[in-house]
Amino acid sequence: MTENLSNESVFREIEANYCIIQQNLEHAAMQAGVSRESIRFMAVTKTVPPVFINHALQLGIDLIGENKVQELLEKKEFLNGAYDAHLIGHLQTNKVKKIIKEVTMIQSVDSVKLACEISKQAKNADVVMPVLLELNIGEEESKTGFLPQSFAENALEIAEMDAIRVCGVMAVPPICDTQAEIRMWFEKVRKQYDKLKDYAKLKEINILSMGMSSDYEQAVLEGANLVRIGSALFGHRRY
């Protein structure tokens, strides 16, 4: 009984958060001069139990993101409805095989070696895996991802692989104190994204995944068309 009561209060909180985010996205899209429909809203569901993810799916969320292979596989069994699932966390090569048929995109391709393994496993499974390339824009040692100076070269190499489709760029910029500072990082990411699109071999690129709970509006203003939102939707609690 108490459990159901507390679930109900979390449901109400998720609904309220969902409305606020939708309004903010609407507003940011308008400011950016793009249509709201051109921006995809991903619910980041790491640490969130299936009961609450299902509630978000009922509200209209159609894309979820998980960081860990095991957590995604365990939770998927309990999720209802039609949705896309993307992997957004670092992926070890030995787990590629497990995930290849479970997600519609891997956003966290952070090395040529990983891309190679994804292509190999996708080929074995007779699929082509859409991927985003993760850019370590701040060149932070604590993060994986491609470095700006070799990004285009690496992207071109990966685009040559058989069973992989390079669809765009994903980035998590350094933590910033001001909106102006975060906006500057998003601009740097967008410039790298634009540069990739200039290559004939990378013409299919059309997804720019950046912006999280604290900065998704800034990201949209800088051209993001996929935002990844966790705590602003589900709350900060540790379930």
55 CB-near residues (< 8 Å, 6+ apart): 10, 11, 14, 15
**Residue 212 interacts with ligand PLP (CB under 6 A): yes or no:** yes
Told to check if 231 binds ligand PLP by CB under 6 A, we report: yes
Residue in the shown chain whose Cβ atom is closest to ligand PLP:
230
Among positions 67, 93, 188, 223, the unique one binding ligand PLP when judged by CB under 6 A: 67
CB 89, min distance to ligand PLP, A: 6
Beta carbons of 220 and 25 less than 8 angstroms apart: yes
Distances (CA, A) of 47 to 78, 84, 235, 239: 14, 18, 11, 7
Residue 88 is a binding residue for ligand PLP (CB under 6 A)? yes
**24 lines the binding site for ligand PLP (CB under 6 A):** no
Which of residues 118 and 232 has its CB atom nearest to ligand PLP in the complex? Answer: 232
d(CA 43, CA 234): 9
213 part of the interface to ligand PLP, by CB under 6 A = yes
Tokens 């009961």 label which residue?
Answer: 51
Of the candidate spans 71-79, 95-103, 198-206, 225-233, the one that interacts with ligand PLP by CB under 6 A turns out to be 225-233
* C-alpha 22, offset from chain centre: 17
DSSP-assigned states of every residue in 79-131: --S--EEEE-S---GGGHHHHTTT-SEEEEE--HHHHHHHHHHHHHTT--EEE
Segment 128 to 187, residues that bind ligand PLP, using CB under 6 A: 172
State yes or no: residue 47 binds ligand PLP (CB under 6 A): no
Give me the least distance between CB of 33 and ligand PLP, in Å please: 25
Give the three-class secondary structure for 209: strand
Where does this chain bind ligand PLP (CB under 6 A)? 44, 46, 67, 88-89, 172, 212-213, 228-232
